[in-house]
Structure 1
Amino acid sequence: MGRARRFQWPLLLLWAAAAGPGAGQEVQTENVTVAEGGVAEITCRLHQYDGSIVVIQNPARQTLFFNGTRALKDERFQLEEFSPRRVRIRLSDARLEDEGGYFCQLYTEDTHHQIATLTVLVAPENPIVEVREQAVEGGEVELSCLVPRSRPAAILRWYRDRKELKGVTSGQENGKVWSVASTVRFRVDRKDDGGIVTCEAQNQALPSGHSKQTQYVLDVQYSPTARIHASQAVVREGDTLVLTCAVTGNPRPNQIRWNRGNESLPERAEAVGETLTLPGLVSADNGTYTCEASNKHGHARALYVLVVYAPMTVRQEFWSGWALDQRFKYLERFKQDGKGFRSEVKEKRCAISVLWGMKLGEEADPGAVVEAQTSVPYAIVGGILALLVFLIICVLVGMVWCSVRQKGSYLTHEASGLDEQGEAREAFLNGSDGHKRKEEFFI
C-alpha cells in the first residue's frame, strides 16, 4: 500500500502538468431574437473560469470588449456584467445590420469560443390603403393594402362591418425585409357610402394579440333623391307656408330649382336654396310645386300639391272622456293676437275650447267672451232637461198604449162569455132533440 501511494502522487503531478492552465474551461451562449429598435442582451456563460482572457466580437469579427474593456466605440453596446460565471452585454436600438453571430472567445492554450446568433425582426408599419378608381352605386370597388417593410413577411387581412373579406395577397423580398400587398373587390350601393373597411397587418415582431390597422372610409357616389317637407299640414288664406326640399346625393347637388307646374312662382315667393317661402297665401297660390336637383349621376324631382282653405271663423272642440256632473272651477288661458282671441274653460274632468275668428282690424269684446263662457254650461243643462222630458213622454205613451190594449182584451172576453151562455139556454129550452138538431146544423 505504501509503495502504491508513492507512485500515485507523481502521476497526478504529471497529469496536471500535461493538462496545463485552462484545462476544463468552457463557454456557452444562447441565441437572441429582438424587434428592430428594441433591446437585446447577449450572454456568455463561463465554466471553470480561471481568469483567462475573454473576448467578445460582433458578426464582422470586430472586438467589442477585451477582457471587460471596451474596444469598439459604439455606445449602443454596454457591458452589463463581467464575472467568473458570465459576461453579459446590452445592445440598445437594435438594427438590421446588427443581426448575425456574436463570438464569445476564451483564450487559453486551447482557444474556446461559442457563437450567439442575434435575429432582428421588423414589425409592419401602418398599412397604406388606396382605392383604384372612384366607387359608383351599383358597381364594384377595388381597394389595395400595402405594407412596404416587414420581417418576416406580414400577414394581411381585410374586414368590413366586423366580417373578414377574402383578399388576394402577394409579397416581394427586398434584402432582409419583405414588401407585402393585398387587394380586395366587392360591389357597393348608396347605403355603403361612409362605411369603413379595415386592413390589418400582423407578424411575430408585434406583441401577441397586437396588430397594425388602417381604416378606409368608403366614398360611394350615387344619383340624388328629393323630398318636400311643409311647415304645416293645413294652410288657410293669410298663412305663411315654408317648403323645404330635402336632397341627398353624392356628390351633393349644388343647385336646387323651384317651379309651379306650367306657371311661374307667385311674386311674393322667396326661393333660397332648399327653402321656398310663400307668405300671405291666397287661393290663387294653389297648384303643384316642384323642387329639382341633379348631379353627374342623375336627376331628382319632388312634388307638393298646395290647397289653400278659406279662413276659419268659429270652431268648437269638446274633449271626450270627461264627466259633466262637476262644477267648473276656473277659467284659464285667454290669448289675444292680431287675428282673433281664444279662451279655454277647464274643469277637473271636462274641457271646452272655443275659437272666435275675427277679421283684421276688429277689436276683441271681452263681454262676448264672458257671455259665451257662461252660456255654454246652460246649453248643456238645457240639453239634458230636453232629453229627460222626451223620455218621460215616451214612458207616458207606452203606459197609455198598454192600458188600451188590456181594456180591449177584457171586452172581447165578456162578449165571448155571453155567446156561450145563450147557446146553453137555448139547448135547455129545446130539449135534447133540439140540441141534436143544432149539432147537425153546425155540421
Structure 2
Amino acid sequence: MELLDLLIILISIFPGEGMKPRFIDEMRNITVEVGRDVTFTCTVSDIHGYRIGWVKANSKAIQAIGTHVITHNPRVTVSHDESRRRWNLHISNAQLDDTGAYMCQVNTDPMRFKMGHLDVVITPDIIDIRGPEVVTEGSNAKLECEARGEPPPMVFWQREEKGEKITVYNREGISNRHVRVEGSVLHLKKIRREQAGGYLCIASNGHPPAVSRRIQLHVKFRPLVTVVEQHVHGIIGKPAVLVCEVESFPRAEIAWVKRDQPYISMSGGRYIKEDFHLTNYKTKSVLNIYNYTEKDAGLYDCRSQNEMNINGKTVDGVIYLNSARENGDNKIEVNKDDEGETTTDLYYTIITDYDFSVQPKYKSKTYNTVYNTEPPMIPRWYDKDDRQAPPARRPNFHPTSERFLNSALRCTFSLVWFLEGLPIIIIYAVYL
C-alpha cells in the first residue's frame, strides 16, 4: 500500500499525458431572438492546473480567461461550478453582432477546444402594406408589402378566402392563376369583380412564427340585375312574390316600379320590399304583394343604381306578373278563355350584359317562348311550369316568319276578294 500511495502522489505532482483535461460533452449551437440571454457551457474533466479560455472565433477576440473577463463588452460574464468541471460564458441581451462561432479552449499543448455557434435572429415583421382599397373593374392595381427580419424574410401573397387563386399575367400577356404568388409586390391587371376581397401578405424567414397582414380590395362596377323568375303567376287573394338579384359595388339602391304606375311607391301598405345582403357585392331584393288583385298584374321593374351607372340611368330587371285563379283541384289556371282552354301570355325576353326587358307579344296555348338577342335568334319553348318543352311538342314558330306569313295571307285574301268581285264590276259597267 505504501508504494501505491507514493505513485499517486508523484502523478499528482507531475501530471502526465494521460492526466490532461478532456472535454466530456459537445458544445451546442444556440439560436435566440434579439434581446434574449445566451449561455454557452463547456464541460471539462481533470482540469488540474490548466485554464479555460473563451474566444469569438470569427474575430479572434478573447472573451475571458479562467474567471477573468477580457472583453470590454459589459454584457459578457463567466462562471463555473464548485467542481470546476462546468464553465459558462454568459451573453445578456443578445444583439445581431453577437452572431458567430464561440470557442472554449484549454491551454494544453497542443491546444484543445470545442466550438458552438450563436445565431441571433429577428422574427419576421411586416412594417407596411400599401395598395388601393377601391379600383374600377378593368383597371390595374399594385399591392406592396414591406417586411423585415434576420435573416431577411421571404414574402408572398395569398387570397384570404381558402382555395381562391390569384390571377397574374406574364410578360407575354398570358394569364395564369396561382394559390400563392412570390414577391413583395403583387401586380393585378384587368381586374374583374371576382378578384375583389381580402389579400394576405405573408412573411417567413424560417424562424417561427410567420406573420401576415391583410389588405381589402374593392372593385367598383355598375349593377348587374338577374331576374330569378321572369314570369310570375299571382293568385288572387294570396301573396305574390317577385325576386331579383343585384350584383354591384358600391352596393346599389334598389327600387321596385310598376310600368303603368311609375310614380306609385312599391313600399308600404300591401307592398313590402325586403333586401338581403348575400355577399359584399350581391343583394337579393324581394317584393311581397299581399292580397293580390287583378289590378296588380303587369310589368314590374327591379331598378338598381349606383355611382357607376352611366348618366345616372338605372339598370332594370323586368318581371311580368300575370293573374291566376285556383280551381277545385287546387291547380293554377292562367287566363282561361271562352272555350274553357287554359292559355298563357306569349312573351319574349331581350337579354344584354346588364339589362332585361319583357314585352307581352302574342297569345299561345300552353307554351311561352324566350328569345335571345344574340344571333341567330333561336326560340326556346317552355310550358307554364317553366320547364322546357320536348322537341315533339314545340311549335314551329318564329315571330319574324309569322309576321311575314300573316302579311302574305292578308295580301292573298285581298287579291281573292278583288278577283271575285271583278265580274260584278264588269257586268255593272256594261249595263250602264
TM norm structure 2: 0.49
State the structure with more CA Rg. Answer: 1
Q: Give the TM-score, by structure 1 length.
A: 0.48
More helix by percentage: 1
